C-alpha cells in the first residue's frame, strides 16, 4: 500500500522558515516524481513544486510565486522528499500535501498544516 506521510508543519512568524518532510513507502520512491501542493483554509488546490526522479534527471520545477523562496529536494536513501520554505508570509498559511506523479498526481499524503502568524 502506498503511503505518504508529511511532517514538519506548525506555527511560524512572518519572515521565518520551515522545512517540511514527506516520507514515502509501498512504492519505488527512487523512481517516483514528487510534488508539493498546498490548500489555504477554505480554498482550492495550488501546485507548488516538483522534483523528478534521478533517472529522469532529478530536475525541479516551481510555481512562479514560490521561485526563490521555496526549495524542493529529495533523499532517496531515506525515501523522503523535502520542501524548504523561507521568508514565509501570512498568505502561505495552508495545509501542505505531498503527492507522487508526473502524469497526474496519483497518491497524496494527509497533509501538514503550516500557520504563519505573529
Partner 1 sequence: DIVMTQSPDSLAVSLGERATISCKSSQSLLYTSDNKYYLGWLQQKPGQPPKFLIRWASSRESGVPDRFSGSGSGTDFTLTISSLQAEDVAIYYCQQFYTTPYTFGQGTKLEIK
User: Closest CB to partner 1 among 80 and 100?
Assistant: 100
Least gap, CB of 35 to partner 1 (angstroms): 8
At residue 54, what are phi and psi to the nearest 5 degrees? -60, -40
SS3 47: strand
Q: How many residues line the site for partner 1 (CB under 8 A)?
A: 23
Instruction: Tell me if 110 contacts partner 1 by CB under 8 A.
Output: yes
DSSP state for residue 51 in the 8-state scheme: E
User: Closest CB to partner 1 among 23 and 63?
Assistant: 63
Distance of alpha carbon 18 from the chain centroid? 11
Of residues 26 through 85, those in contact with partner 1 by CB under 8 A are: 35, 44-47, 50, 61-64
- Asked whether the CA dihedral 86, 89, 91, 94 is positive or negative, the reply is positive
Given the rule CB under 8 A, which residues bind partner 1? Answer: 35, 44-47, 50, 61-64, 97, 99, 101-111
Amino acid at each position: 500500500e502506498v503511503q505518504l506521510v508529511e511532517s514538519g508543519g506548525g506555527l511560524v512568524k512572518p519572515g521565518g522558515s520551515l522545512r517540511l518532510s514527506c516520507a514515502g513507502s509501498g512504492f519505488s520512491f527512487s523512481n517516483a516524481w514528487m510534488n508539493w501542493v498546498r490548500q489555504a483554509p477554505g480554498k482550492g488546490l495550488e501546485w507548488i513544486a516538483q522534483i523528478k526522479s534521478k533517472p529522469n534527471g532529478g530536475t525541479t520545477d516551481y510555481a512562479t510565486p514560490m521561485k526563490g523562496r521555496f526549495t524542493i529536494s529529495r533523499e532517496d536513501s531515506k525515501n523522503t522528499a523535502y520542501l524548504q520554505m523561507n521568508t514565509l508570509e501570512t498568505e502561505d498559511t495552508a495545509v501542505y500535501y505531498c503527492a507522487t506523479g508526473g502524469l497526474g498526481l496519483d497518491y497524496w499524503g494527509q497533509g501538514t498544516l503550516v500557520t504563519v502568524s505573529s
